[in-house]
Amino acid sequence: MTVTTTNGAGDVAVLLRRLTGDEKHEASAHSTLDVLWVLYDRVLRVTAQTVDDPLRDRFLLSKGHGPQAYYAVLAAKGFIPVEWLDDWAGPQSRLGHHPDRLLVPGVEISSGSLGHGLGLAVGTTLGLRAQGLLTPRVYVLLGDAELDEGSNHEAIAYAGALGLTRLTAIVIDNQSASHGWPGGIASRFTVNGWIARTVDGRDHDQIEAALRTHEPGRPDVVIAQVRRKADA
């Protein structure tokens, strides 16, 4: 088994095509790709060698749907062998249509059913705090349609009321929620005391700047806007 490490976002696009086997789809079709790349290339303090380090940053993909970009980034960063991309969701594959933490090194949670990641992220942040592990930050990625699930709003209200620090939510907003979010997604968080920043979900510098800006005593959320799924 060989692990190939690559270093550029361009290579990720190649890996993504290798995974999907679909030449027609540009990498830009995948709404999460740019945010995931910025996270793993510039922000997260976790490597293939530190996936079990208690002091690592945690990234939780709550929105387990469409994990191709996630797998491609993990392969590009050497967490998994690129060969794994060739048998996506096959009978022997470790890479399913939803990721499994028991099968994929670096995957923090098994997800797929929407509305579970934010609660797990709040618990992870609290667990680290209770053990005095104050350097790791917990990032959790959700979709705008995933916010339909009421369980998210339990977590948003509680984390805000607690003023929970070292927790960053990221909402990929490709306007796919059936009934939309009148008044905006950010307001659902800010009314509960979160800091919210809205960025162009394709602009790496904007994404990085937002992911690196925190305020004491408050959780934060980055709304990454990308084109509608149907337009992409």
User: Using CB under 8 A as the criterion, which residues of the chain lie in contact with another protein when the complex forms?
Assistant: 54, 101-102, 108-110, 113, 115-116, 118-131, 133, 150-151, 154-155, 157-158, 161
Which residue, 118 or 195, has its beta carbon nearer to another protein? Answer: 118
For residues 168 and 214, the answer to whether their CB atoms sit within 8 Å is: yes
For residues 221 and 170, the answer to whether their CB atoms sit within 8 Å is: yes
Which residue, 105 or 119, has its beta carbon nearer to another protein? Answer: 119
Which residue, 130 or 230, has its beta carbon nearer to another protein? Answer: 130
Which residue, 153 or 204, has its beta carbon nearer to another protein? Answer: 153
**Least Å from the CB of residue 195 to another protein:** 21
* Alpha-carbon gap, residue 87 to 84, rounded angstroms: 6
**Least Å from the CB of residue 80 to another protein:** 19
At 222, is the secondary structure helix, strand, or coil? strand
**Least Å from the CB of residue 127 to another protein:** 3
DSSP 69-137: HHHHHHHHTTSS-GGGGGGTT-TT-S--SS--TTTSTT--S---STT-HHHHHHHHHHHHHHTT--S--
**Least Å from the CB of residue 227 to another protein:** 31
